[in-house]
Amino acid sequence: MRTSSLLLMKNAPTLLLIEDDRSISQNLAEFLSQEGFQIQCVFTGNEALSVLESGSFDLLILDVNLPDFDGYHICQEFRKRNTQTPILMLTAYDELEDKMKGFEMGADDYLTKPFFMVEVLARIKSLLKRANKQIEQPSLIWVEDLSIDVSTNSVFRAKQDINLTPREFNLLLMLVKAKGKMVTKKELNKQIWGGSLDEHNNTIEVYINFLRKKIDKPFSKQLIKTKIGFGYYLDIL
């Protein structure tokens, strides 16, 4: 099966679109090309893995349901060697469990089909903006015995390597940058989930628990604190 591409501007952000529905793929590619992006389209998991081995992209748009590998597998395999490139997943299911699985595999955002083209565009711009901000940050940040290297998305505590998903990493980084001040759930929702979570959604609490198990549980001092009903902060000197 041949890979097709639509290329417009030499210096435009490059996107890899992994979508087996030819109609959706073509419509998305045409729309995003008109918005100034360079788009490469593939239609199977095998094609995606092959292209990702040799190509470099600013963002991935990844359908969950593919004819061979599912999108979760592609996401997980890609994250083993690349933790920085944003991944926007597309799914026909609007179940929290499906979204949580995608986030655990390393997805940065989700869109449920059917979607509006302008919504796709807004999500892409938001993800690219966040990715660029991470690149501009100082390379190494220390909080007591916790160190974060934003150039490699590496985290260590007491010299122990801690493996975080991209979502967990961004959540930790927001808490660290607050320097002990409380970060509200509203702020976390806006900056990390793009404001997509409603007030009754417990996704943020779930991710805080993920972080605590990795950052705090193995160590004597618990850094991540909760102000019930409001938000979270780091207990630092």
Q: Does 127 lie in the same domain as 17?
A: yes
- Clarify whether residues 74 and 162 are in a common domain: no
pLDDT tens, position by position, 52-81: 988 789 999 999 989 888 889 999 889 888
Contact at 8 Å (CB) between 39 and 9? no
Instruction: Give CA angle at 195 (140, 87), nearest 5°.
Output: 60
The Cα 44–Cα 8 span in angstroms is 24
Q: Do 124 and 146 lie in a common domain?
A: no
The helix (H) or strand (E) run that includes residue 137 is none
Domain range for 143 is 138-234
By C-alpha distance, which of 55, 32, 29 is closest to 43?
A: 29
Q: What is the CATH number of the domain that holds 187?
A: 1.10.10.10
Shared domain for 56 and 98, answered yes or no, is yes
Q: Rounded to an integer, what distance in angstroms lies between the CA atom of residue 41 and that of residue 157?
A: 40
Please tell me whether residues 79 and 153 are part of one structural domain.
no
Torsions phi, psi for 90 (to 5 deg): -110, 135
Domain final residue pick, 111, 135, 159: 135
Domain endpoint, select from 75, 106, 135: 135
Do 173 and 152 lie in one domain? The reply is yes
**Are 10 and 53 found together in one domain?**
yes
Residue 169 and residue 105 share a domain: no
Is the domain of 82 the same as that of 145?
no
Sign for the CA dihedral angle at 93, 98, 99, 105 comes to negative
How many distinct structural domains can be found in the chain? 2
Residue type for position 47 = E
pLDDT digit string, tens, across residues 185-197: 988 988 888 788 8
Could you give the dihedral angle defined by the CA atoms of residues 109, 110, 115 and 117, in that order, rounded to the nearest 10 degrees?
20
CATH number of the domain that 40 lies in?
Answer: 3.40.50.2300
Q: Are residues 92 and 23 both part of a single domain?
A: yes
**What torsion do the CA atoms of 33, 151, 202, 180 make, to the nearest 10 degrees?**
-140
Which of 115, 135, 155 terminates a domain? The answer is 135
Comparing C-alpha atoms, which of 69, 99, 67 is closest to residue 202?
99
DSSP for 161-188, written as a single string: EE---HHHHHHHHHHHHTTTS-EEHHHH
pLDDT tens digits for the chain (237 residues)? 333 333 333 457 899 999 999 999 999 999 998 888 989 999 999 999 999 988 789 999 999 989 888 889 999 889 888 888 999 999 887 677 777 888 888 889 988 888 889 899 999 988 988 877 554 445 678 888 888 887 788 899 988 999 998 889 889 988 988 888 999 998 898 888 878 888 788 899 999 999 999 999 999 899 999 998 889 999 876
Q: CA-to-CA distance for 51 and 44, rounded, in angstroms?
A: 11
Q: Cβ neighbours of residue 198 under 8 Å, at least 6 residues apart?
A: none
Tally the C-alpha atoms within 13 A of residue 177's C-alpha that lie toward its C-beta.
16
pTM for this entry: 0.55
Same domain flag for 90 and 28: yes
Residue among 189, 205, 187 at smallest CA distance from 197: 189
Same domain, 62 and 93: yes
